[in-house]
Chain A
Amino acid sequence: MIIETLNLTKLYDGKPGCRDICLSVSEGQVFGFLGPNGAGKSTVVKTLIGLLRPTDGQGMVLGQPLGNKQVRRKIGFLPENFRFQEWLTGRELLEFHGAMYGLERRFLKERIPVVLEMVRLRGREREPIRSYSKGMQQRLGIASALLPDPELVFLDEPTSALDPIGRREIREIIKNLRSESKTVFLNSHLLSEVEMTCDHVAFIKGGIILDQGRLSNFTGGKQVVSLRYTGSPRILESIRAVSQEVFIDNGLVQVAVASEDLLPVLASIVVQNGGDLYEMTTSGFSLEDVFINIMGEAADDYHCTPHLSRDAE
């Protein structure tokens, strides 16, 4: 395993940053870590990298305990809300970061143009960072994370400052990393990014992992049936007996179904319970539906217990 944690917990003055985090990320995975703002995503990443000391639990990254200095040679990290020394030029910053990684000058001379090309900053590297746009600084941050040709890359909200073209380029970079069997840990609340790039996901809210597993197990083959009807509460109870993933959005009852066979069953539930059915439509099951469903289900007093991931189901 590239990353493995068991009940990893970080408390800030007694208040939970993250609690009982149990993660397993294997080599070559592009792992999406999803949650709303303030859910604890950055806390988990910073704890994995060693910037935060865990309050409890254990973790291993690249086979070494958390905080191991040597293992950081193989890790690239793009922090959230980072800033660089703005008086340096882009190239000087990469040389500085390369020196901190302990990379040889000869390697850097070849590597810097490569990473600049990857993030489309070639030709701008002699300009001071203070003249860069926010998006350019973000891309420079990604170039810095890729500088040592790392085995594991942590990207914390990498597309937050980018325009649609920039986002697509980052997606391409992530796909290239996957094709090179690199492991990517992607923190994001932009679900479309995760859906297009990740193969495994975990959902976090209030510092607790609510669910995790292979992305296709959450979305693959499923459909959402939207129902608009009037009738007794018994209809909803009967629908819940058919599907466990039911949520209500703007008066529409949305039901996740694994196959089309359930469509007539849902219609008959409404009719047989004396209801009037006004609308019944189907659509693909997106990660956003999964996200809303999982986050909506989670009560504030939810307590985490180590659970089986969807891979094991």
Chain B
Amino acid sequence: MITIARLTFREMLNKRILLLGLVLTVVYLSILWLGLHYVGKDIPETAELVRLSLAGELLTAGLFVSGMLVSLVTVFSSAGAISADIENGIMPATAAKPISRTQIFLGKYAGLGLALVVYSLFVFIATNMIVWRVFHFYSDGFFSAMVLFALQPLVLLAVSLWGSTFLSTLGNGVFMFMLYSVAVIGGMLEYVGVQMSSMALTAGASGTAAASSLTMIGILTSLLLPVDSLYRLVNYLLLQGSPVPAQLMRFTPFLTITPPSMEMLAYTAGYILLFIGLGIYKFSSRDL
């Protein structure tokens, strides 16, 4: 398994998708830094609450884009992790060796996972550094948030590798992108639902029903792919120590009013294990 993991990690570093992702990440971080720099320099020293409020909002927005970058790199680098090797004739020479398909699958997961975790840590730390540099905003929940942020690609990777055992590379890429989009939209709808309830925007019974429907959609999409709920928890952990509560920040779809429960975190861990198990089963039972 370590042999496969090592080769997969090296292969990942050789892929153009990672290089392209890194270039785009540097471009994105530069734009973020420039944007925040211009926003930050016009805030008077005395307007502490405005500064903190803006810092929180822009940090969560920045992490949303960072999460999206990490997710897209994850999807496009892993969609063909197994299927492409089967399609182009690499897999028969590998699978004919005295190693089990479980070892091959886990090796791929470990190699890709390590590269993606390193990449997501880089993006997370860089985004936080920029916000800290401009707004002098530091959260006590930084390390917990960082761990959860790095968990996001591992969730996507488990599903993507499972899909790669029976879908074509293109088919799996499209499937994963659609699934990710559904999870993100669902998370935003849930946030809108929560806001509608908490800010008394609902008028009467029909408004309450609409808010709870939106919340329900969000919960269901979180169960389908618990990536957005991780992002919400990351936001919550970063802002929970802020003197400006999220409720008082402006209405943006990136904030978290009600954090996902600990049960959701346990569900996410089980979700990863389930899809790794399904992937191993599917890969072990298929013809090559």
**Contacting pair A72 B89 (CB below 8 A):** no
**Contacting pair B96 A51 (CB below 8 A):** yes
User: Chain A contacts of B100 at CB under 8 A?
Assistant: 69
**Contacting pair A77 B93 (CB below 8 A):** yes
Total A-B Cβ pairs within 8 A? 62
Alpha-carbon separation in the docked complex, A96 to B94 (Å): 10
User: Chain A contacts of B99 at CB under 8 A?
Assistant: 69, 100
**Contacting pair A102 B98 (CB below 8 A):** yes
The reply to whether the CB of B287 lies closer than 8 angstroms to some CB of chain A is yes
The reply to whether the CB of B90 lies closer than 8 angstroms to some CB of chain A is yes
CB distance from A170 to the nearest CB of B (A): 17
Given contacts A46-B288, A52-B287, A96-B7, contact A77 B96 (CB under 8 A): yes
- Pick the contact of A53: B95, B98, B287 (CB < 8 A): B287
CB distance from B88 to the nearest CB of A (A): 5
- Pick the contact of B93: A53, A69, A71, A79 (CB < 8 A): A79
Residue of A nearest to B94 (CB): A100
The reply to whether the CB of B41 lies closer than 8 angstroms to some CB of chain A is no
**Contacting pair B11 A85 (CB below 8 A):** yes
The reply to whether the CB of B92 lies closer than 8 angstroms to some CB of chain A is yes
The reply to whether the CB of B213 lies closer than 8 angstroms to some CB of chain A is no
**Contacting pair A85 B90 (CB below 8 A):** yes
A33-82 residues with Cβ-Cβ distance < 8 A to B are 46, 49-53, 69-73, 75, 77, 79, 81-82
B86-129 residues with Cβ-Cβ distance < 8 A to A are 88-90, 92-100
B238-288 residues with Cβ-Cβ distance < 8 A to A are 285, 287-288
The reply to whether the CB of B3 lies closer than 8 angstroms to some CB of chain A is yes
- Pick the contact of A52: B3, B94, B288 (CB < 8 A): B288
Alpha-carbon separation in the docked complex, A51 to B90 (Å): 13
A114-165 residues with Cβ-Cβ distance < 8 A to B are 141, 144
User: Chain B contacts of A50 at CB under 8 A?
Assistant: 96
- Pick the contact of B3: A51, A87, A96 (CB < 8 A): A96
Alpha-carbon separation in the docked complex, A13 to B67 (Å): 42
The reply to whether the CB of B46 lies closer than 8 angstroms to some CB of chain A is no
User: Chain B contacts of A262 at CB under 8 A?
Assistant: none
**Contacting pair A73 B98 (CB below 8 A):** yes
- Pick the contact of B98: A72, A85, A96 (CB < 8 A): A72
Alpha-carbon separation in the docked complex, A72 to B92 (Å): 13
Alpha-carbon separation in the docked complex, A279 to B97 (Å): 57
CB distance from B13 to the nearest CB of A (A): 10
User: Chain B contacts of A144 at CB under 8 A?
Assistant: 93
Alpha-carbon separation in the docked complex, A55 to B18 (Å): 41
In the complex, 22 of the A-B residue pairs with CB atoms within 8 angstroms, ordered by the A residue number, are A46-B92, A50-B96, A51-B92, A51-B288, A52-B287, A53-B285, A69-B98, A72-B96, A72-B97, A73-B98, A75-B96, A79-B93, A79-B96, A82-B92, A82-B93, A83-B88, A85-B11, A96-B7, A99-B3, A100-B4, A101-B97, A102-B98
Q: Which are the 3 A-B pairs with shortest beta-carbon distances?
A: A100-B97, A72-B98, A79-B92
